[in-house]
């Protein structure tokens, strides 16, 4: 279907094309000069001491869990409300994900419920910075330090997001940022793992590059696999990171336009947010009444829709964990009542007005339903 308003459209221009041309002309398409430049740009931006590239966000989480020594039978605490890729690397390590409900205000992990999920088998907490806002990392780091638990930040959606002035992903023991196609800056696929711990950095380097600290040698001190990116991807990343401030500004402008156009529609409301994080809109997320009817109405208008994430405790492949439905009221509400609206850079004001006008039209037609 050809949508009048798609959910996503990456922002590229001549900068990406020129960088790709340079890569092709030099014939260095594996990790090379642009990979080094992209890593340096990321470290400068996030203030992380060390960083390694990974093939995508899911594998970056798996790589991080391996570097932390997470193994069969260990438990990792994470929010129930997140994309499946936060939990699946835990399963692939042979560990057990332990789910915690989220806060109604920002849909980030409820720090007040973390400690009750801790057991003698708990080895890590994985906060997920959701939809462009930070979790309360101060509380999470305090709990982890007191209980002797590692912290792995899933900041897949968190580029440009800060918690009390510190970039997400660079606060815990390890953190990952994704550069998938729908992220604020993108390389199509790809990710980075951040750390300030030299020992963890050394482990990451071996694990991601076939058990060797650098390419070009056939001596492998450790066991590893190939988690690398390419210079083609990183050439795009270098161009994208230069655009971030412009992208952030436009996304915030789009978000404010949505708020103005929908402020008197009583059937929808926006997430409240929090007071310790800035906001880089990943989507425009709203609570919407009659969501099951609203979605097909918008689709019929040529507006591509997305529900919020399906709760992890309800995922078929995790049914064996035996969670009860009433343990996660906010996570359930997010899927049942939450809607994501597009906020990508090249979205036009006219398209936002069309979306908001269509939402208004739906509720006008169904006011007595």
pLDDT tens across 60-98, in order?
999 999 999 999 999 999 999 999 999 999 999 999 999
Provide the β-strand partners of residue 341: 284
- Examine residue 9 and state whether it is found in any structural domain, yes or no: no
The CB-based long-range contact list for 71-75 (8 Å cut-off, 24+ gap) reads 71/95, 73/121, 74/121, 74/122, 74/123, 74/124, 75/119, 75/121, 75/122, 75/123
Of 206, 222, 242, which residue constitutes the final position of a domain?
A: 242
In this model, does residue 43 exceed pLDDT 90? Answer: yes
Q: Which helix (H) or strand (E) holds 154?
A: strand 150-154
My answer on whether 67 and 166 are in the same domain is yes
- Examine residue 4 and state whether it is found in any structural domain, yes or no: no
Kindly state the average pLDDT of the residues 206-230: 89
Look over the chain and give the mean of its residue pLDDT values, rounded to a whole number: 96
My answer on whether 154 and 58 are in the same domain is yes
pLDDT value at residue 369: 57
Residue 171 to residue 119: CA distance in whole angstroms: 23
Q: What angle do CA 277, 170, 168 make, to 5 degrees?
A: 25
Q: Report pLDDT digits (tens) over 332-366.
A: 999 999 999 999 999 999 999 999 999 999 999 98
Domain total in the chain: 2
Domain that holds residue 279: 244-365
Q: Report pLDDT digits (tens) over 234-261.
A: 999 999 999 999 999 999 999 999 999 9
Kindly state the average pLDDT of the residues 228-238: 97
CATH number for the domain spanning 78: value is 3.40.640.10
Q: Which helix (H) or strand (E) holds 191?
A: strand 191-195
Q: What angle do CA 76, 126, 286 make, to 5 degrees?
A: 125
Of 198, 218, 242, which residue constitutes the final position of a domain?
A: 242
My answer on whether 230 and 251 are in the same domain is no
- Nearest alpha-carbon partner for 3 in 250, 246, 304: 304
Provide the β-strand partners of residue 288: 268
Is the Cβ–Cβ distance between 342 and 6 less than 8 Å? Answer: yes
Write out the two tokens for 92. 């692939």
- Examine residue 119 and state whether it is found in any structural domain, yes or no: yes
Burial class (CB in 10 A: 0-12, 13-18, 19+), 270: middle
| Phi, psi torsion values for 312, nearest 5 degrees | -65, -35
pLDDT value at residue 217: 80
Kindly state the average pLDDT of the residues 138-149: 98
pLDDT value at residue 211: 84
């Amino acid at each position: 279907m050809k949508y009048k308003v798609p959910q996503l459209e990456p922002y590229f221009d001549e900068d990406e094309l020129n960088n790709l041309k340079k890569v092709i002309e030099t014939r260095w398409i594996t990790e090379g000069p642009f990979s080094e430049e992209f890593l340096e740009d990321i470290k400068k931006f996030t203030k992380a001491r060390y960083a390694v590239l990974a093939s995508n966000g899911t594998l970056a989480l798996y790589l991080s869990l391996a570097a932390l020594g997470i193994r069969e039978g260990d438990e990792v605490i994470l929010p129930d409300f997140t994309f499946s890729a936060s939990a699946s690397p835990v399963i692939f390590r042979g560990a057990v994900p332990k789910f915690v409900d989220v806060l109604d205000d920002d849909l980030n992990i409820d720090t007040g419920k973390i400690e009750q999920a801790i057991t003698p088998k708990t080895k890590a907490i994985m906060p997920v910075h959701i939809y462009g806002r930070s979790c309360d990392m101060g509380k999470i780091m305090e709990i982890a330090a007191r209980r002797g638990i590692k912290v792995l930040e899933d900041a897949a959606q968190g580029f440009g997001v800060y918690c009390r002035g510190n970039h997400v992903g660079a606060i815990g023991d390890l953190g990952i940022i994704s550069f998938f196609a729908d992220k604020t800056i993108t390389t199509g696929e790809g990710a980075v793992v951040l750390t300030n711990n030299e020992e963890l950095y050394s482990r990451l380097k071996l694990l991601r590059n076939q058990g060797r600290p650098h390419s070009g040698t056939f001596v492998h001190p450790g066991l590893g696999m190939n988690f690398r990116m390419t210079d083609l991807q990183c050439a795009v990343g270098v161009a994208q990171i230069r655009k971030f401030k412009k992208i952030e500004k436009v996304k915030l402008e789009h978000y404010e336009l949505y708020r103005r156009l929908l402020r008197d529609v009583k059937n929808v409301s926006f997430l409240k947010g929090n007071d310790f994080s800035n906001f880089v809109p990943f989507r425009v997320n709203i609570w919407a009444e009659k969501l099951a009817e609203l979605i097909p109405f918008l689709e019929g208008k040529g507006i591509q829709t997305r529900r919020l994430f399906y709760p992890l405790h309800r995922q078929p492949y995790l049914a064996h964990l035996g969670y009860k439905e009433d343990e996660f009221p906010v996570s359930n509400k997010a899927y049942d009542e939450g809607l994501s609206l597009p906020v990508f850079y090249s979205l036009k004001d006219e398209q936002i007005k069309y979306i908001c006008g269509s939402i208004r039209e739906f509720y006008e037609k169904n006011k007595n339903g």
